[in-house]
Structure 1
Amino acid sequence: MSTLLDRPTAPAAPSDPPSDPVPAGDPLWVRPAVVALLSATGVLYLWDLAASGWANAFYTAAAQAGSQSWEAFFFGSSDAANSITVDKPPASLWVMDLSVRLFGLNPWSLLVPQALMGVATTGVVFLAVRRVAGPGAGLLAGAVMALTPVAVLMFRFDNPDALLVLLLTLAGYLLTRALQSGRRATLVGVGVLLGLAFLTKTLQAFLVVPGFALVWLVCAPSSLRRRVVDLLLAGLALVVTGGWWLAVVELVPSGWRPYVGGSQTDSVWELVWGYNGLGRLTGDETGSVGGAAGWGRTGLGRLLDVEVGGQVGWLLPAALALGAAGLVAVGRVPRTDVRRSALLVWVSWLLVTGLTFSFMAGIFHAYYTVALAPAVAAVAGIGGGLLWARRRSWWARAVLAAVLAGTGAWSWVLLARTPAFAPGLRPVVLVVALLAALGLLVAHLRRAVGVLVLAAAVPAALAGPAAYALQTAGTPHAGSIVTAGPGGGIATGRAPVGAHGSLVTASHPGPRVTQLLRQNASTYTWVAAAVGSQVAAGYQLATGDPVMALGGFNGSDPSPTLEQFQQEVAEGAVHWFVAGTVGRSSGGSGAAEQIATWVERTFPAEHVEGVELYDLTTALR
């Protein structure tokens, strides 16, 4: 009878059919264990999901628009009248748009797809690790993935990150299969998935590409010429899958489509390479609000600091140690050994993405680190599985014991940062981890000892993140900047009724304001205009009608210009202007401020429920 981390699955031959999640050779306990893991993940991610309301109203409003207009669907517009797009490609919106078209606009139709993506990601992590390190290691990796606090946050939210992580995880799994079989079609599938990930969150999807490509060139089971050709074909698949939408947007005349939000020149190429690209690394992001100084201190310690550590850092040190030890454990093996190549796939993902997040000087939010969760989980699972299989060697037991003791101590530190949250958990985690670490040193003596040690070690390692995960799932979250764990709830993300909103919080209009905006709504292209996408989103979601987001997300895009807005007003296309600002931008356009100044000087103001409104259909002063 094997223990949980024993019995790695044999590599698949080129003629093997696609593998079943639980192959026939696995122990009988595997199938119910996998079902239990995925079921528990589903409950965690779906529980009381609607409590977050519209979550990130910026994307919710775009999903509403895409459900009303196929043009808005294709371009990813903020409103159904197609004034401006969101500042990302639309792949993640397409999923939500279709869900809203099928089930209507409500929190469940928006957020259930994200939660199901989280369950799927957990399953794919299990599959990837099980192929090379056994079902027990796969289950451990799946549990780490499911319980990572930032993963719980983002798979219960409507940001693009949920789809991004699922696509990248699928790409890592397919690459593992390709490294086993050498099949060209499988590698091309990796390129397709990375292209779709690019259409989800642009260049962030490419952080895994250097490591993936290098591992294939070094480790794939074919000649060097074949490896190069296969890699080029996969790259072509990536370019075609990820580039077709960008080409269409660039080729369509600007007068026939919405303005490209997040750019200063109405160019999707500028958006990809500037605001969402190199600007994120250098901090030189024209039109950004806040600047590099507002995004935290950079450096190697960033992923473990107070802001980020509790999000994804619980098992990050353990994963790095287990990854290095796993490579040592494999030892001198043939170039094509799939255990080593699979481990290198996930280690490269962890290192390149982790270092990028650590040193990027531009816009950075703690929730970005959800992109590290699959790599942390897979490296910990594979490395831990390889060492456990060699537990009769003193050095393997010593490394496992040291990693477990260190994880317990690190959990003590992270829990101490929120002393009012579960204060009794800290000493329990530390004591159990230390006792289990001592048990690991003698785990080779008897099988029963090994089972007992595992029964203590796994809960000790996962108790801290599990507590944060449960707290995150039980707390509503809304707004543009959200965090997992204690203190990351809706209080910082939703404006009170009657509030105008801001850069990070949507407006929350009262009933009288909403009624005014709805009057004769069908007569106008836009029932209102407001500076900034979050502000506009709240009014749009309240009325169900298009609201023009002046200046895009930050209010700093030159869309529309003052002359363009004056023309729209002259044609009777806009009914109301909602006064207010969202902040000062760094080098962006001042068109939105010019429009606000012109409106305030030209039209009389009405004060309703604390909101300053201007009826643009009244006679000019």
Structure 2
Amino acid sequence: MYLWDLAASDYGNAFYAAAAQAGSQSWSAWFFGSLDARNFITVDKPPASLWVTGLSVRLFGMNSWSVLVPQAVMGVTAVAVLFAAVRRVVSHPDQGAVAGLIAGAVLAGTPAAALMFRFNNPDALLVLLLVVAAYGLARAVQVASWPWLTLVGVVLGTAFLTKMLQGFLVLPGFGLAYLTAAPTAWRNRLLHLTGALAALVVSAGWWVLAVQLTPATARPYIGGSTDNSVLNLAFGYNGLGRLEGHESDWGAATVGARNTSTGLHRLFTTEMGNEISWLLPVALLAVAFGGYLAARGRLGRDEWAALLSWGGWLLVTVLVFSYMQGTIHPYYTVALAPAIGALVGLSTLWAWRLRAGWDGRIAMAVLLGVGGWWSSVLLRHNHFGPVWLPTALLLITLTGALSVAVGRRWWMATGLIAGASAAAAGTVAFTVATVATPHHGAIPNAVSLLRPAPGLAERVAAGGWTGDEATNGQLAKMLTTTTTPWSAATNGSQSAAALELATRTSVMAIGGWSGDPTPTLAQFIDDVHAGRVAYYVEAGRGGAAQPQGRVIRSENHSASHSREIADWVAAHYPAITVGTSLVYRLE
């Protein structure tokens, strides 16, 4: 499913695709995560995911499959590792296999997962690393193994190099699980956790240290930072700025991405609800049910640790995503999918195991009923499928819940299978529709249910306005014939990425992705006079030639230095219009 018709999405996110191309052309650009092979500026995230796609492009050439197939492989691997992690915590092998299969199926059938496992944002690798860390934690808890716990630290450090602080949202649950459940003395548990934390710092910090020790003149500018440092990027634009809503204070120029409507309802409404919330209410109930069982002493040590680790993962991430005031995109919610899958699988097993008692039957009935009810709500709200489908699925799940509550064995088994199938039908159908939808741009959504304003998808990108850079054959030919280090400079990373993919050349992204303070006017003038840049392309609505020689520029320029550069170029070089772009020859 994840491999089906991948080429329909072309390069997916052109921003990261261009960086992967750059990494395939230059090992230095690959190491730093640069947008261009000449190392002008990095992307706004650390480079771990680009290391994977960059190697793939280097091995198989620049095409949509070499960019997107690694993400699909990560998705399949994440599902397999989740199955293994859930199966391991259940003492009975057959029961563990059933719980693991349910968990894996839920992850595979979540729209956000199908979206990100077929798209080249860093989230696919992030999810895989977090699931691998959860598996390592399960192994560590079983025998109080410090090597396995150290591995967890190494993997989570790598998650930091994938998407920075988002990779640490699982830490509270993981730490609490080992601290309370590992079969060894408290002193040993604390020592083991300290060692794992040290491993995390080393695995997360080696690249940061390498970048910081490299002179600024010998490496690219760190995109998204205000002072050309990784720490500023991690704790500013990709850290506190996201939580507090002050990314602009850290150099970010947010474009229509911030959601100021904070609260627990956020994950259940609009696009976020469509991508992740189908079985989220069931997972939240599973945490409560697991707490009830733990209080009554009905969970073994390994299952108790699993409840803490997966429940902590779910609750902390839900709270952060619900109340963060900065930029948040719906696809971020894929980080919740493994925890939802694990908790749905485990709670189903727990309820079935206790089916002889009233509490097990009530738990099964409630889980089924809530899952079917919320699925029908989402289907009806989105007008997805036949008009009778939401009602039919709700009736089936309620009938299944009633059959489970009655308590007769044959009725219970039939009701559970029918009710669970109906409750899962919505998320599966939406996932299939997500797979059938091509995805492009910086902020993909699962299924296109609404028609955008004419031309909006082509014009709007996080970072500015773009025009026909990706399809302008005349412009591409001009840039391809250049011999300078940078074939062109342009306003913003989005336009630069489109030109790089069209020409296979390096393009200087003035202002980067988020209005970064690079280059200064003096630096740009030096590069032009030294013959390092052939053209300046004022992309999209950035400018238009006027009869009097004036230039009208968009108000969407995100930094004053970008305007200064555009003014200097316009004052010193003649312009021609190529497609929708204003082009200046700087040689």
Superposed CA offset, 1:136-162 (max 9, x none): 111111111001000000000000000
Aligned ranges 1:578-597 → 2 under 5 Å: 578-580=537-539, 589-597=559-567
1:72 to 7, 29, 33: 29
1:553 equivalent in alignment to 2:516: no
CA distance 1:492–1:182, change in 2 (3 Å): farther
1:610 to 559, 566, 580: 580
Q: CA deviation at 1:459?
A: 1.2
User: Which residue does 2:232 correspond to in 1?
Assistant: 270
The letter for the 2-side match of 1:386 is: W
The letter for the 1-side match of 2:330 is: A
1:378 equivalent in alignment to 2:337: no
Matched residues in 2 for 1:501 and 1:227: separation? 48
User: Which residue does 2:548 correspond to in 1?
Assistant: none
CA distance 1:494–1:548, change in 2 (3 Å): farther
CA distance 1:336–1:222, change in 2 (3 Å): farther
Q: CA deviation at 1:508?
A: 2.0
Superposed CA offset, 1:53-106 (max 9, x none): 010000000000000001001100000010000111100000001100110010
Matched residues in 2 for 1:504 and 1:413: separation? 36
Matched residues in 2 for 1:504 and 1:462: separation? 39
Superposed CA offset, 1:461-483 (max 9, x none): 21111111011000100001111
User: Which residue does 2:3 correspond to in 1?
Assistant: 46
CA contact under 8 A between 2:254 and 2:463: conserved in structure 1? no
Superposed CA offset, 1:528-559 (max 9, x none): 111111111001100000011111112x1111
Matched residues in 2 for 1:392 and 1:209: separation? 36
1:534 to 494, 513, 519: 494
Superposed CA offset, 1:25-47 (max 9, x none): xxxxxxxxxxxxxxxxxxx1110
1:524 equivalent in alignment to 2:484: yes
Give me the CA root mean square deviation. 2.2
Q: CA deviation at 1:335?
A: 9.9
Matched residues in 2 for 1:323 and 1:515: separation? 58
Q: CA deviation at 1:485?
A: 2.6
Q: CA deviation at 1:493?
A: 10
User: Which residue does 2:401 correspond to in 1?
Assistant: 437
Q: CA deviation at 1:398?
A: 1.1
The letter for the 2-side match of 1:607 is: T
Q: CA deviation at 1:310?
A: 0.9
User: Which residue does 2:550 correspond to in 1?
Assistant: none
Matched residues in 2 for 1:610 and 1:488: separation? 27
The aligned length equals: 566
Q: CA deviation at 1:578?
A: 1.0
Superposed CA offset, 1:429-448 (max 9, x none): 11111111111113x422x3
TM-score for the superposition, normalised by structure 2: 0.92
The letter for the 2-side match of 1:599 is: V
CA distance 1:210–1:326, change in 2 (3 Å): closer
SS at match of 1:156: coil
CA distance 1:427–1:489, change in 2 (3 Å): same
1:413 equivalent in alignment to 2:370: no
Matched residues in 2 for 1:221 and 1:335: separation? 15
Q: Please, which moves more after superposition, 209-218 or 463-472? A: 209-218
Matched residues in 1 for 2:399 and 2:569: separation? 70
CA contact under 8 A between 1:259 and 1:559: conserved in structure 2? yes
1:484 equivalent in alignment to 2:443: no
Q: CA deviation at 1:490?
A: 10
Matched residues in 2 for 1:292 and 1:384: separation? 40
The letter for the 2-side match of 1:539 is: L
Matched residues in 1 for 2:50 and 2:435: separation? 23
User: Which residue does 2:291 correspond to in 1?
Assistant: 327
Matched residues in 1 for 2:150 and 2:371: separation? 38
Matched residues in 2 for 1:306 and 1:80: separation? 39
Q: CA deviation at 1:403?
A: 2.0
SS at match of 1:152: helix
User: Which residue does 1:136 correspond to in 2?
Assistant: 98
SS at match of 1:174: helix
User: Which residue does 1:92 correspond to in 2?
Assistant: 49
TM-score for the superposition, normalised by structure 1: 0.87
User: Which residue does 1:423 correspond to in 2?
Assistant: 387
CA contact under 8 A between 2:405 and 2:412: conserved in structure 1? no
SS at match of 1:307: helix
Q: CA deviation at 1:129?
A: 1.5
1:568 equivalent in alignment to 2:566: no
CA distance 1:293–1:486, change in 2 (3 Å): closer
Aligned ranges 1:20-419 → 2 under 5 Å: 44-133=1-90, 134-285=96-247, 286=249, 287-290=251-254, 294-333=258-297, 337-419=301-383
Q: CA deviation at 1:610?
A: 2.3
CA distance 1:75–1:191, change in 2 (3 Å): same
CA contact under 8 A between 2:130 and 2:155: conserved in structure 1? yes
Matched residues in 1 for 2:446 and 2:260: separation? 17
The letter for the 2-side match of 1:529 is: A
Q: CA deviation at 1:340?
A: 0.9
CA contact under 8 A between 1:529 and 1:550: conserved in structure 2? yes
CA distance 1:165–1:493, change in 2 (3 Å): farther
CA contact under 8 A between 1:77 and 1:86: conserved in structure 2? yes
CA contact under 8 A between 2:465 and 2:556: conserved in structure 1? no
Q: Quick one: percent identity of the two aligned structures?
A: 48
Matched residues in 2 for 1:513 and 1:255: separation? 30
CA contact under 8 A between 1:502 and 1:535: conserved in structure 2? no
The letter for the 2-side match of 1:393 is: G
Matched residues in 1 for 2:456 and 2:20: separation? 19
Q: CA deviation at 1:132?
A: 2.7
Matched residues in 1 for 2:373 and 2:149: separation? 41
CA contact under 8 A between 1:536 and 1:549: conserved in structure 2? yes
